[in-house]
Amino acid sequence: MLMDHTIVTLDEMRKKTKQMADTDELCSQHGGKYVEAFCDDHDAICCIECITENHRQCKMVRTLEQASLDIKTRLDPLVYRMNELEKQAVSVVEDRKTNMEDLLKQKKDVLTEVNKTRTDMQRYFETLETKLKEEIAQTHESLSEELQLQAHNFEHIFTNCRKRVLTASVNYGSNRDIFLTAFKLRKQCELYKIYIRSQSENSLRNDYSLHMNEIIKKFTNQIKSMGNVSIEQKSTNIVPSFYKYTRLSDCKYVGQILV
Amino acid sequence: MLMDHTIVTLDEMRKKTKQMADTDELCSQHGGKYVEAFCDDHDAICCIECITENHRQCKMVRTLEQASLDIKTRLDPLVYRMNELEKQAVSVVEDRKTNMEDLLKQKKDVLTEVNKTRTDMQRYFETLETKLKEEIAQTHESLSEELQLQAHNFEHIFTNCRKRVLTASVNYGSNRDIFLTAFKLRKQCELYKIYIRSQSENSLRNDYSLHMNEIIKKFTNQIKSMGNVSIEQKSTNIVPSFYKYTRLSDCKYVGQILV
Ligand SMILES: [Zn+2]
Ligand SMILES: [Zn+2]
Ligand SMILES: [Zn+2]
Ligand SMILES: [Zn+2]
């Protein structure tokens, strides 16, 4: 019952198998002694020393010759069992290999998806950049036009403040000519003054200010991974319930019957 | 007072300037009539018809000859004013050009920053991708190792189910040999069975499952722009307060004194 829960490591298993091979005819407990008997009570092969030490109270101790009578007729269960074990082992190996192949494919798909997500994001950022750049270009174009128009209008005032007209009039004209010219220029100045005053509220200093999207600004601090891959594990039926639930004590009993 | 709030468009201004130029000596109201008088009350040049129609109640209507007496000695304020207007116009033009040049530089800087943000984000996504791919590779490597070990261990069971040993023993050995061989094989089977049972809980079907970061998944739906550029406008002093706050009625008065 205790061994039922014992987990045998592969190393132990190999060691035991090797021990048995080495002790073909020799007792594993008593070096140099040949095995001579079989104890049914312990399901053990014994040398003479084993029997005197451990099997004196046992009820079913027979010589190997007695125990091996008709052995050939009692081998079928062992052969069946070895076949089952072999099938079992092969199916587990195949299942593990299939799972490995599937995982390799899945890994490839996952990497493709990760790559796609990354390139999609990169392309999306390029789209956002193009859009923002277009908006900036548009903003700049209309603001430039406005400023250029303002400059143009004030340039017009400048080129129309014709002091030369007044000078010419003063130098060559009659008082009446000068008066009329001065009158016109004064009226012009008044109009320009009104215009300048009307424009004073529009003559603003303009500066650009870039406001990055808050999520993008915080992105590198908030996003530390693109995601993760988890392994989903499901129980399988490759190891049949017979193997899973049989008790070791039952095994032993079955074993005794087999041989 | 009403005109104080009138905004003169540049077109109107040009039209008026043109009118004045056309009507050098001719009345703008009465085609074909020459201007002959000046009304101080209206600050207007009048033909004979103007006077009879609109200036009969006016107190200060003089002939142009009377009005233009000593005109040369009264031109300084107009010249000063034209100079001021010219300076004003030039400074506004220069200011607008400076602002345009600055905006061009700012636009360049903004575009550089937008570009940098985009490339930074793209590089960051490449970093995230590399990191995730490394994690996937690591997960895959250790899971593959585990599965390979499982396969290897079960392969060992398969290669050790030596049915040939039993067959050889049955064919060539004594009953005693067969008994001992069967005994060993049975013991071996028991050990393997214990091993298989101990491994049954580990023989799981493994599948990868990729979980993308929620923020990245929702990114293209939530982020519709990289940001925006706003124009910050500050009032300037290019149009001096004199122009801004002088009343038109005052202008007119000043104008009358000037000529
Ligand atoms: Zn012994
Ligand atoms: Zn015994
Ligand atoms: Zn007239
Ligand atoms: Zn009048």
B86 or B206, higher pLDDT: B206
In a domain, B100, yes or no: yes
Angle between the B175-200 and A10-22 helix axes, to the nearest 10 degrees?
180
Calculate how close chain A gets to B108, using CA atoms only, in Å: 10
Which of the residue ranges A34-43, A54-63, A157-166, B26-35 would you say has the lowest mean pLDDT? A157-166
How far does the centroid of ligand 1 lie from the alpha carbon of residue B126, in Å? 69
- Predicted confidence (pLDDT) per residue in A193-212, tens digit: 888 888 877 788 999 999 99
User: Is B96 in contact with A147 (Cβ distance < 8 A)?
Assistant: yes
pLDDT interval class at A163 (50, 70, 90): confident
Please say if the pLDDT value at position A115 is more than 80.
Answer: yes
Compute the average pLDDT of residues A164-169.
Answer: 86
Look at residue A1 and tell me if it is in a domain: yes
Backbone angles phi, psi at A49, to 5 degrees: -70, -40
What's the whole-number mean pLDDT along residues B105-128?
95
pLDDT of residue A3: 36
Is B246 a residue whose pLDDT tops 70?
A: no
pLDDT band, residue B76 (cuts 50/70/90): very high
Q: Which of B 118-137 lie inside 8 A of A, CB atoms?
A: 118, 120-122, 124-126, 128-129, 131-133, 135-136
Binary contact (B166, A75; C-beta < 8 A): yes
* CATH code: domain of residue B13: 3.30.160
Q: Is the pLDDT of residue A150 over 80?
A: yes
Decide if pLDDT at A247 tops 50. no
Residue A2 has pLDDT above 80, yes or no: no
Any domain includes A42? yes
* Structure ipTM over 0.85, yes or no: no
The alpha helices in chain B, defined as continuous H runs, are: 10-22, 48-54, 64-67, 76-160, 163-172, 175-200, 214-222, 241-245, 248-258
- For residue A61, the CA-to-ligand 4 centroid distance in Å is 153
Grade residue A223 by pLDDT with cuts at 50, 70 and 90.
confident
B158: nearest CB among A93, A121, A160: A93
Q: How wide is the angle at C-alpha A75 spanned by C-alphas A70 and A76, nearest 5°? A: 130
The one-letter amino acid code at A53 reads: E
pLDDT at A168: 87
pLDDT, chain A, mean = 83
- B259: nearest Cα among B82, B120, B135: B82
Domain count, chain A: 1
Chain B CB within 8 Å of residue A146 CB: no
- Residues 28-87 of chain A with CB under 8 A from chain B are 35, 38, 45, 64-65, 67-69, 71-72, 75, 78-79, 81-83, 85-86
Q: What is the mean pLDDT of residues B218-241?
A: 82
Statement: residue A84 has pLDDT above 70: yes
pLDDT digits (tens, 9 = 90+) for B193-209: 888 888 877 788 999 99
Which residue from B minimizes the CA distance to A234?
Answer: B205
Please check whether residue A29 lies inside any domain of the structure: yes
**In this structure, is residue A88 part of a structural domain?**
no
Position A159 pLDDT exceeds 90: no
Q: Pseudo-torsion of CA B12, B31, A184, A148, nearest 10°? A: 20
Interchain CB contact of A238 with B (< 8 Å): yes
Cβ atoms A184, B18 nearer than 8 A: no
Domain assignment present for A77: no
Q: What tens digit of pLDDT does each residue of B7-65 get?
A: 456 566 566 555 554 446 888 889 889 999 999 999 999 999 999 999 999 999 999 99
Closest ligand to residue A50's CA: 1
Residue A28 lies in a domain: yes
Comparing A164 with B6, the larger pLDDT belongs to: A164
Question: Residue B27: its chain A contacts at CB < 8 A?
Answer: none
pLDDT confidence band for B249 (50 / 70 / 90): very low
What's the DSSP call for residue A26?
B
Going by pLDDT thresholds of 50, 70 and 90, the confidence category of residue B239 is low
**Per-residue pLDDT at A258:** 33
* Domain identity same for B24 and B84: no
Inter-residue contact A193 to B251 (CB < 8 Å): yes
In a domain, A170, yes or no: no
Residues spanned by the domain of B188: 161-202
